Homo-oligomer: A and B are copies of this chain.
Amino acid sequence: MCRWMAWFGQPVLIEELVFKTQHGIVDQSLHARMGAEPTNGDGFGLGWYGGGEGPGVYRSVAPAWSDENLREIAAHVESPLFFTHVRAAIGSPVQQTNCHPFRHGDWLFVHNGYIGDFPALRRELMMVLNPHRFAEVHGSTDTEVVFHMALAFGLEHDPINALEQAVWFVENTAHRLGIAPMVQATFGMSDGETLWAVRYATEGPARSLFASADVDAIHRLYPDNARLERLGADDRLIVSEPVADLPGVWEEIPPGTAVTVRRGGVLEQRPFVPRRIASPEAEPALARALDA
């Protein structure tokens, strides 16, 4: 069980959203309300765009609530697009390489959830990766493997399709090995230009995921709220759970849904359906894995 949030909009000091909200991600690290466990103290990560080339990533094994350096960076770095993630480890070690976000080139990737029976699947899933991608996997989480699988399936060109294929491959591999497939996931990802988020569960209730409402709607609901007044038309938040108790501000993203957020606050939804898609990039990866 983990919690994450993403901001996309006007440049803000990161602390505005991470520390200075009523129930921000750092508060969630101690007191999550919608997760399986209230405590997410097994490390955290921050990935941000703006300044230098590509995204910066700060990851630590300390609990988010006590990390002085996170407080410092959040108070002194502005960004128009960033992710934060607090981790509750389930099985894999508490180490920096297991903290989200994961990065490849300009891409950042976060995940809340799990792959059922991952230890039994890990080898077969990593077959999808060519030697170069395989060597890039430094940690031992399911998330890092899913990210690199999706990269092998073309995430950099069509992220949602590639992720659908990756989830399909996880479920398909479980079937092949006689294991009950289970992918529990909210995913967040970005290339610095667009933000994508996914909510999905192979079966049963999916992990929670919310988007902030249209800014006009928010302003009509809370005409006297000074903080919300600063929100502009370009601003969107995607969160595992609401960061403030403001009815009407948070819209639940339905299970089985992929969301695309573009500059200007544009938010589009479409169904997220794991499936095999023939594509020039995916074929060699699948061949590598399925023929093995």
User: Which A residues fall within an 8 A CB radius of B?
Assistant: 13, 15, 30, 38-39, 41-42, 48, 50-53, 55-63, 65-66, 68-69, 72-73, 75-78, 89, 92-97, 118-124, 126, 129-132, 134-135, 137-140, 292
Contact = CB atoms under 8 A, between A and B. Distances in A.
Nearest to A131: B123
Contacts of A59: 68-69
A101 B141 CA distance: 22
A92 B123 contact: no
B61 A73 contact: no
A77 B63 contact: no
B93 A73 contact: no
A55 to B, nearest CB: 8
Most chain B beta-carbon contacts within 10 A, residue among A48, A50, A73, A131:
A73
Given A131-B123, A134-B123, A53 B66 contact: no
A132 to B, nearest CB: 8
Nearest to A75: B52
Given A120-B131, A134-B123, A75 B53 contact: yes
B135 A131 contact: no
A112 to B, nearest CB: 18
Nearest to A121: B131
A131 B122 contact: yes
A176 to B, nearest CB: 12
B138 A131 contact: no
Contact of A56 (B75, B97, B132, B135): B75
A58 B39 contact: no
Contact of A92 (B120, B134, B138): B138
A170 to B, nearest CB: 14
A62 B61 contact: yes
Contacts of A73: 56, 58, 73
A93 B89 contact: no
Contacts of A61: 62
Contacts of A126: 123, 126, 134
A171 to B, nearest CB: 17
Given A59-B69, A61-B62, A72-B58, A119 B135 contact: yes
Contacts of A122: 131, 134-135
B66 A48 contact: no
Contacts of A77: 51-52, 56, 76-77
User: Which 7 residue pairs across A and B have the least CB separation, nearest first?
Assistant: A56-B76, A119-B135, A123-B134, A52-B76, A95-B95, A123-B131, A51-B76
Contacts of A65: 41
Interface centre among A50, A72, A94, A124 (most CB of B within 10 A): A72
A129 B135 contact: no
